[in-house]
Structure 1
Amino acid sequence: MEWHKIPFSKRDILFFLLLVFGSATFIAMYYGQSWKTGVADAGFFVIQLVLGLFLLVNMLHYYPPSKINAWPALLFSLVVSVLLVFGGKWLARGILDTNAVFFVFYEKSIPARLGIMFLLLYCVAIFMLLIKNFEKGWNQQQLGEMSRKLSKDAELFYLRQQLQPHFLFNSLNSISALLGSDPKKARLMLQELADFFRASLKKDPMKWERVDEEYKIISQYLSIEKVRFGHRLDFRFNMEEGVGDLMVPPLLIQPLVENAIKHGLYGVTGDILIEFTAKKEGNYFVIVITNPCSQQSGGPRGVGFGLESVERRLYLLFGRKDLLHYKKDNDNFTVSMKIPQPK
């Protein structure tokens, strides 16, 4: 295993070895050895330690424990320490005179050398195991978060893909009906439909937009529906000053508008008025949409695909289920939505 694979910087390793070298020199001199003997002994000990660290790093690389486990590291550190210390004695015996000061000091200090070598290797092994397991846990957490984000993005994309064909089919059915009775209106509606989809397809589903930009898309959508239903459909906007600068996820309001038109016209005879109120409350953008509904027909059945999709998108975006409310009051159906503003 290459040294650059060790989870320490070169500066850390150098500082650690210099600390060991200085400590070994000081200990030798403290026990009556000359500074030359101390430096030689410390250099020899550092060379043994570097060899032990190299063996230890390779062991942990090729035989990593599945979890933090002190026993393999303890056993390996002990075996390597014994081999290095007694191997060093054998090497010194072959090179030096057995009466040499360095060799005599080395032989007398074998128990201490063995204990210090084992302690250093074992501490490094445990520290490396902790780092590796921390990195493994961190990587698993990152993968889990990435997987959840991809799943959420995929569901958001799926909801948007469902909404557009839902609206497209209704519009094409209306165009088909108008082709025979009023070709001019059919062409106008087709042109409005093309402009609407051209604008909506340019939007980045992950990028929020100003309320003013979203209002343009809603206006294009209402123009299509105005051609479709003629004089029966009318709408009124009440927007507080400064609301246009607030931010909203793209195409989140349009399904609410579609739901209001669909269920406002359901069972209602005569003209209908749909009201939009947009305002800021604290750190929220709030939009309230009110449409008439028929008491005799029972009103809209269920909450509709549009409301369900918006409710799901809000939960995926904010993890909350209290941002969308709807109620039926006498002859009106009201939907209110709050969108937290980015900080």
Structure 2
Amino acid sequence: MKHPFINNKILMLYYGVFWLVIGVSNISIQYFWYETDLVSSSLSAFIYFVIYPVLGASIWFIIKYNSLEENELTWVLLYHLIGASILNAIWIYLGFISIKVIDSGNLHLLYDTLPGRVFSGYVMYVIFVLFFLAINYYQSLKEKIKKEAELKSLIREAELSALKSQINPHFLFNSLNSIASLTISFPEKAHEMVINLSRFMRYALQHDQDETVSLKDELENIKLYLSIEKVRFGKKLNPVFEVEESCHNFQIPNMILQPLYENAIKYGVYEATEPVSITTSCTTENGSMLIIIENDYDAESIRNRGEGIGLRNIRQRLELIYGTSELIRITDLKTSFKIELLLPKKIPA
């Protein structure tokens, strides 16, 4: 940790201005109230409020290298006593030189007030120690808060990364299996699926875990994902999009929607014998955007439907990004499954 005056020029300026004001006030009181001549009052103020503050700035180093965390209290007090004595000796000597050079006729005043000056020197030393301890505490607290914020950010990124890594491999595994099955029977479709899968994965990997993208870009990627799945399911999968123009530029977390469509296909399309529509609608109101994704499903084929890993991941991501998991609502309508996402316009920093 560097000297606070080196790190903070404004603090050093305030420090100088403070002692300047104190010095000028002291000169005024001595000159107008006690009728001390201007030279003597200015010289006294110079010794107390210029020389000592300059020397006192070095007290910070004594505090830094003799902290209670590294030394016993007895040794710390001894170091400060030695430091205060040395500083006092230098201060009194410089005061003696200043008086001798500027007004040698008042040297007797220094000798007459020497005990009081020594005592005041120790008192000022204690004041400076408290001052620098307060500054060190404030700086340490700021650094601690900063490090905690950085640590929380790293943890948050790690959690988001872990959640996202649970989504993509599952989809990738299914897609590769489908490509393998299509290679012999429908090589053209397999080729198309490989290209689309490559584009989809490139989109997923080029964004950070908590990066935001426009809804328009996210839906384009979703359509790419659905085109990959449509190769597997053919006419059974029928995606429908009803998105207002006002929603297109709305910023949302990257890849937050894909697990919802994966969930719809897993529980709706996969088990169905008839075509299944996955309808996506979007509206904006009062600075928020409502996204509704609804899909049909066969209630007979899925009797014990719980919240899958994709939905749990989304809840956790919303909690990490927005600070709440109440932005998603899931409704089972017995013949269809509806998911509503109400996302605010601004994502908390």
Task: Please classify the TM superposition score into its range, dividing by the shorter chain length.
Answer: 0.7 to 0.9
Q: What is the alpha-carbon distance in structure 2 between the residues aligned to residue 208 and residue 3 of structure 1?
A: 39
2:3–2:60: 8 Å Cα contact kept in structure 1?
no
Partner of 2:147: 143
Q: How big is the shift at 1:276?
A: 1.2
Q: How many residues align?
A: 337
Partner of 2:60: 57
Partner of 1:105: 109
Q: How big is the shift at 1:290?
A: 1.3
Alpha-carbon distance change, 116 to 78 in structure 1, aligned in 2, over 3 angstroms? farther
Alpha-carbon distance change, 39 to 233 in structure 1, aligned in 2, over 3 angstroms? closer
Q: For 1:283, give the aligned amino acid.
A: G
Alpha-carbon distance change, 146 to 221 in structure 1, aligned in 2, over 3 angstroms? same
SS of the residue corresponding to residue 226 of structure 2 reads helix
Q: How big is the shift at 1:86?
A: 11
Answering whether residue 339 of structure 2 is matched by residue 335 of structure 1, we say yes
Partner of 1:230: 234
Q: How big is the shift at 1:243?
A: 1.3
Question: Structure 1 regions of 5+ residues with no counterpart?
Answer: none
Q: How big is the shift at 1:169?
A: 0.7
Q: What is the alpha-carbon distance in structure 2 between the residues aligned to residue 231 and residue 137 of structure 1?
A: 62
% identity of equivalent residues: 27
Alignment map for 1:139-288 (pairs within 5 Å): 139-288=143-292
1:234–1:273: 8 Å Cα contact kept in structure 2?
yes
Q: How big is the shift at 1:288?
A: 1.2
Q: For 1:289, give the aligned amino acid.
A: I
Given candidates 17, 36, 53, the residue that maps to 1:15 is: 17
Q: For 1:244, give the aligned amino acid.
A: H
Q: For 2:59, give the aligned amino acid.
A: L
Q: How big is the shift at 1:302?
A: 2.2
2:328–2:339: 8 Å Cα contact kept in structure 1?
yes
Q: What is the alpha-carbon distance in structure 2 between the residues aligned to residue 323 and residue 81 of structure 1?
A: 66
Select between 300-309 and 331-340 the one with higher mean Cα deviation.
Answer: 300-309
Q: How big is the shift at 1:115?
A: 5.1
Q: How big is the shift at 1:43?
A: 4.1
Q: How big is the shift at 1:284?
A: 1.9
Q: What is the alpha-carbon distance in structure 2 between the residues aligned to residue 197 and residue 178 of structure 1?
A: 20
Q: What is the alpha-carbon distance in structure 1 between the residues aligned to residue 306 and residue 3 of structure 2?
A: 65
Q: How big is the shift at 1:134?
A: 1.1
Select between 286-295 and 214-223 the one with higher mean Cα deviation.
Answer: 286-295
1:73–1:126: 8 Å Cα contact kept in structure 2?
no
Q: What is the alpha-carbon distance in structure 2 between the residues aligned to residue 240 and residue 114 of structure 1?
A: 81
Q: What is the alpha-carbon distance in structure 2 between the residues aligned to residue 55 and residue 6 of structure 1?
A: 15
Q: How big is the shift at 1:126?
A: 1.4
2:55–2:87: 8 Å Cα contact kept in structure 1?
no
SS of the residue corresponding to residue 160 of structure 2 reads helix
- Give the structure-2-normalised TM-score: 0.81
Alpha-carbon distance change, 87 to 158 in structure 1, aligned in 2, over 3 angstroms? closer
Partner of 2:128: 124
Q: How big is the shift at 1:107?
A: 3.7
Q: How big is the shift at 1:170?
A: 0.5
2:236–2:274: 8 Å Cα contact kept in structure 1?
yes
Q: For 1:60, give the aligned amino acid.
A: I
Deviations along 1:113-148, one digit per CA (max 9) or x if unpaired, are 345434433333212211110111111111111101
Q: For 2:201, give the aligned amino acid.
A: F
Q: How big is the shift at 1:299?
A: 4.4
SS of the residue corresponding to residue 248 of structure 2 reads helix
- Give the structure-1-normalised TM-score: 0.82
Question: Structure 2 regions of 5+ residues with no counterpart?
Answer: none
Q: What is the alpha-carbon distance in structure 1 between the residues aligned to residue 185 and residue 232 of structure 2?
A: 12
Q: For 2:178, give the aligned amino acid.
A: S
Alignment map for 1:81-96 (pairs within 5 Å): 84=88, 88=92
Q: CA RMSD in A?
A: 3.7
Select between 118-127 and 133-142 the one with higher mean Cα deviation.
Answer: 118-127
Alpha-carbon distance change, 241 to 125 in structure 1, aligned in 2, over 3 angstroms? same
Alpha-carbon distance change, 54 to 189 in structure 1, aligned in 2, over 3 angstroms? closer
Q: For 2:171, give the aligned amino acid.
A: F
